[in-house]
Amino acid sequence: MTEAKESASRVKRFFWRIETARKITQFLSIILFNAGLFGVGSWPILLPVMYTLGIQQKTVGDAFAMLQWMLHDLVFPWLPLASFLLVAVFLGRALCGWVCPFGLVQDLLGYVKKKRMELSMRTHDLLVNVKYVILGIILLISVTLALSLATGVIQGYKAALGALAPAPFSALSPADTLFAVLPTMVSALGNTSLDALAAGILVVRPLLWARLAIMVTILVLAVYIPRSWCKYLCPHGAALAFLNRFSFLGLKRDPLKCTKAGCRTCVEVCPMYVPILDLPWEKFTDPECIYCLKCADACTTKAIKPKFP
């Protein structure tokens, strides 16, 4: 084969990879979410992905942030709940793999270090439960606050929660900090004199420091452990993981093509540590699977494919 033909086939192979399509979809999604920058108005759409309600240019809303705000405003959050249910039933956690802006940020950070930090399966199995605890705590705070505001019982509950009251998770969310707070700070810095900046740093609020510390920790973790936020901490991911097992979308592994013995390529590339080879081959919908299809891409015999329904 000539050199030109070899390069052409390399380019063709690159563009035919599912991973390339996924990256393009993730970048297009984040551009669409920020299409307000190009004068597009916001759309009446809520998605269960880690984004923010805190910026002007957004076109779609973050369902979990809206759920907290609606509970705080004593409105039943049927729209955010419908968004979670519909997406989970039809697509499972596929938006995590293909659309979520914070998922994209973690994927990009994953490229910084070639070798990932390995956790034992026992540690992983323990840590995956942390996100359900976080989801439970946030819902408990939001629901009890709504009940207290509606009934007038436990006066002072809202005051005790302070800045966390309207949206306890969003007030500390690393995605809100990254996509809304940080750009606002950077643009404010550009318009501030050095004296005012020094004075501002001295009086900067503890909540802001907490937000920044959480964001930096999560981003550094993502460099060492792929999708660590999604696997262990994300409350959106927890709600979707819970519903993922009932999803129409799943994966199947053709037992005639899969050489299983001696080959664990699919398991090794999976960023979510899904035990693919131990799951039913006809169809599997593991709570942690984000349908990134890295396993399907990596399988040399093309034994793994999406299955719907």
Positions touching ligand SF4 (CB under 6 A) are 49-50, 96, 100, 102-103, 229-230, 234, 236-237, 270, 272, 274, 276, 289-295
Measure the CA–CA gap between 273 and 288, rounded to whole angstroms: 8
Shortest reach from residue 206's CB to ligand SF4, in Å: 25
CA distances for 217 relative to 30, 31, 158, 202, 255, angstroms: 23, 26, 28, 23, 41
Contact 244, 285 (CB under 8 A): yes
Shortest reach from residue 155's CB to ligand SF4, in Å: 35
Shortest reach from residue 2's CB to ligand SF4, in Å: 35
Residue whose CB is less far from ligand SF4, 164 or 229: 229
Residue whose CB is less far from ligand SF4, 60 or 100: 100
Shortest reach from residue 233's CB to ligand SF4, in Å: 8
CA distances for 54 relative to 150, 171, 176, 183, 223, angstroms: 26, 10, 7, 11, 26
Would you say the C-alpha torsion 29, 248, 227, 117 has a positive or negative sign?
negative
Residue whose CB is less far from ligand SF4, 72 or 93: 93
Closest-approach residue to ligand SF4 (CB): 237
**DSSP 3-state of 160:** helix
Shortest reach from residue 269's CB to ligand SF4, in Å: 6
What tokens appear for 104 in the block? 């994209």
Shortest reach from residue 99's CB to ligand SF4, in Å: 8
Residue whose CB is less far from ligand SF4, 72 or 229: 229
Residue whose CB is less far from ligand SF4, 107 or 145: 107
What tokens appear for 149 in the block? 């505001």
Residue whose CB is less far from ligand SF4, 3 or 278: 278
Element (H, E) at 250: strand 250-253
